[in-house]
Amino acid sequence: MAQMRSEDHPMSSNFPVELYEVIRVIRKVPLFLEEHLNRLYQSARLAEVHHLPGPVALEEKLISFLRNSDVSEGNIRLSLTVSSEEDVPEPALAFIPHRYPEDRNFAEGVRLRTLMAQRELPNAKIYRPVLRQRTDEIIAHGKYYEVLLVNHEGYITEGSRSNIFFVKGNRLYTPPTMQVLPGVTRKVILRLCIENDILISEEPIKLSELDTFDAVFISGTSVKVLPVSHIDHHEFDNGNMLVRRIGRLYDEQIESYIRNKIMP
CATH code, domain with 69: 3.30.470.10
Please tell me whether residues 221 and 138 are part of one structural domain.
yes
Please tell me whether residues 37 and 112 are part of one structural domain.
no
Please tell me whether residues 228 and 138 are part of one structural domain.
yes
| 2 located within any domain | no
Please tell me whether residues 85 and 114 are part of one structural domain.
no
Please tell me whether residues 199 and 237 are part of one structural domain.
yes
Please tell me whether residues 72 and 151 are part of one structural domain.
no
| 49 located within any domain | yes
pLDDT of 85? 75
pLDDT of 2? 63
Burial string for 41-59 (b: 16+ CB within 10 Å, else e) reads: eebbeebebeebeeeeebe
pLDDT of 4? 54
Residue where a domain terminates, one of 96, 114, 136: 96
Total number of domains constituting the chain: 2
| 264 located within any domain | no
Measured between alpha carbons, how far apart are the two ends of the chain, in Å? 52
Please tell me whether residues 175 and 135 are part of one structural domain.
yes
pLDDT in tens, 217-239: 999 999 999 999 999 999 999 99
CB contact at 8 A, 76 and 23:
yes
**CATH assignment of the domain containing 159:** 3.20.10.10
Short-list 220, 248, 251, 218, CA closest to 236: 218
Please tell me whether residues 190 and 76 are part of one structural domain.
no
pLDDT of 263? 56
Please tell me whether residues 230 and 116 are part of one structural domain.
yes
Range of the domain at 204: 103-254
Strand order of the β-sheet with 92-96 is 29-30, 17-26, 74-82, 92-96
Please tell me whether residues 119 and 248 are part of one structural domain.
yes
* Tens-binned pLDDT, residue by residue, of the chain (264 aa): 666 544 344 434 466 888 999 999 999 999 999 999 999 999 988 888 888 889 999 999 999 999 999 999 999 999 999 887 777 888 999 999 999 999 999 999 999 999 999 887 788 787 778 888 999 999 998 899 999 999 999 999 999 999 999 999 999 999 999 999 999 999 999 999 999 999 999 999 999 999 999 999 999 999 999 999 999 999 999 999 999 999 999 999 999 999 998 755
For the chain, the farthest-separated pair of C-alpha atoms sits apart, in whole angstroms, at 54
pLDDT of 17? 85
Cα dihedral: 237, 251, 157, 211 (round 10): -10
CB contact at 8 A, 93 and 66:
no
CB contact at 8 A, 158 and 149:
yes
CB contact at 8 A, 5 and 130:
no
Beta strand 29-30 with 199-202 is unpaired
The rounded distance, in Å, linking the Cα atoms of 85 and 87 is: 6
